């Protein structure tokens, strides 16, 4: 999203200090402009710390390089574009109640944000690997140090067969704009007797888009369920998008294209290599 001209001028002003985890603006702004600058810094992940010794927007990641890149392109990644809506604690409880994570169970969280699901899954005893695309949130996840592995990558680009084993549980709240793609891809990381629990937009129940219809059919074949979450479940994260909870159990020989299923497919012969 484009950085508005007047906000850009404030951030690029030579008096503005952008260093470490802080952005400090040591000059007066009119209240309307201050509000716009504050909104953008909050959107990027900053929080105003008004203590005398600080008086700056403080970020939970090193903001300097990130901000320089934004200023160079005059754009910033908005949370809306990235589908960045942390899972509220009540929804996390619901996810975990269905996932049944116990001591030593392997878990994948493939769109991990800052770890709203990761941390409680670890508290349940899960051995959690997670994936996140955004460098700020990757930094936060690594700092927290709760997951066994934090993979900084586009999950949709990862090949399930690069993992030796499937995961016993996949728990996820993917970006809603591409939820069906994310969940379908995540099935390839699921163990043959694993369980996948995903928060998805309620439109997945109604959409006539061919990929969504095919997805619903697949889930029905596997006896999966979509349970509506209460309206306003995501209000604490700033959105009213209605959501459902998908719970589906895999089984060997079942219809889901799990990690084991992918492993069992014959390798495609490169016939042209023989020519
Ligand atoms: C709806 S938020 C949920 C975050 C986290 N699962 C939680 O429960 O709080 C979706 C997250 O997916 C990340 N994301 C979006 N596209 C992704 C991709 N292709 N690969 C990995 N992560 C992605 C976003 O950066 C964002 O942090």
Give the up-direction half-sphere exposure of residue 18: CA atoms within 13 A in the CB hemisphere.
Answer: 18
Q: What is the mean pLDDT of residues 230-257?
A: 93
Domain that holds residue 95: 89-263
Please classify residue 251 by burial: count the beta carbons closer than 10 Å to its beta carbon, then call 0-12 exposed, 13-18 middle and 19+ buried.
middle
Ligand 1 atom closest to Cα of 155?
20
Last residue of a domain, one of 24, 46, 76: 76
Is 274 part of any domain? no
Q: How far is the CA of 31 from the centre of ligand 1 (A)?
A: 33
160 and 231 belong to one structural domain: yes
pLDDT band at 274 (very low <50, low <70, confident <90, very high): low
Query: Does a structural domain hold residue 72?
Result: yes
Q: Is residue 55 part of a domain?
A: yes
Nearest CA to ligand 1 atom 27: 113
- Residues within a 6 A CB radius of ligand 1: 82-87, 111-113, 116-117, 131-134, 137, 154-156, 173-175
What's the 176 CA to ligand 1 centre distance in angstroms? 9
Cα 189 to averaged position of ligand 1 atoms, centre (Å): 17
Contacts of 152 (CB under 8 A, 6+ apart): 131, 132, 133, 135, 138
Stronger pLDDT, 127 or 77, i.e. the higher one? 127
Q: Which pLDDT value is given to residue 268?
A: 61
Residue 255, pLDDT score: 96
Task: Name the DSSP letter for residue 272.
Answer: G
- d(CA 141, CA 139) in angstroms, rounded, equals 6
Same-domain status, 69 and 96:
no
């Amino acid at each position: 999203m484009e950085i508005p001209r007047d906000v850009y001028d404030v951030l690029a002003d030579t008096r503005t200090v952008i260093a470490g985890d802080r952005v400090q603006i040591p000059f007066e702004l009119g209240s309307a402009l201050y509000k716009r600058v504050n909104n953008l810094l909050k959107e990027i992940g900053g929080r105003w710390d008004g203590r005398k010794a600080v008086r700056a927007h403080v970020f939970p990641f090193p903001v300097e390089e990130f901000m320089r890149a934004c200023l160079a392109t005059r754009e910033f990644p908005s949370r809306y574009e990235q589908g960045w809506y942390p899972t509220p604690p009540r929804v996390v409880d619901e996810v975990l109640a269905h996932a049944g994570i116990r001591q030593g169970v392997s878990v994948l969280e493939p769109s991990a944000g800052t770890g709203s699901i990761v941390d409680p899954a670890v508290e349940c005893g899960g051995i959690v690997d997670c994936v996140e695309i955004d460098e700020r949130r990757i930094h936060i996840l690594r700092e927290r140090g709760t997951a066994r592995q934090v993979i900084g990558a586009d999950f949709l680009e990862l090949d399930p067969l690069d993992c030796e084993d499937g995961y016993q549980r996949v728990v996820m709240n993917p970006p809603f704009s591409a939820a069906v793609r994310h969940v379908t891809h995540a099935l390839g990381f699921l163990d043959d007797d694993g369980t996948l629990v995903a928060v998805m937009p309620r439109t997945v129940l109604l959409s006539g888009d061919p990929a969504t219809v095919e997805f619903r059919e697949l889930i029905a074949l596997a006896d999966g369920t979509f349970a509506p979450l209460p309206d306003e479940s995501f209000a604490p994260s700033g959105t009213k998008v209605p959501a459902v909870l998908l719970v589906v159990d895999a089984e060997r020989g079942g219809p889901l294209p799990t990690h084991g299923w992918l492993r069992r497919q014959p390798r495609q012969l490169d016939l042209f290599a023989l020519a």
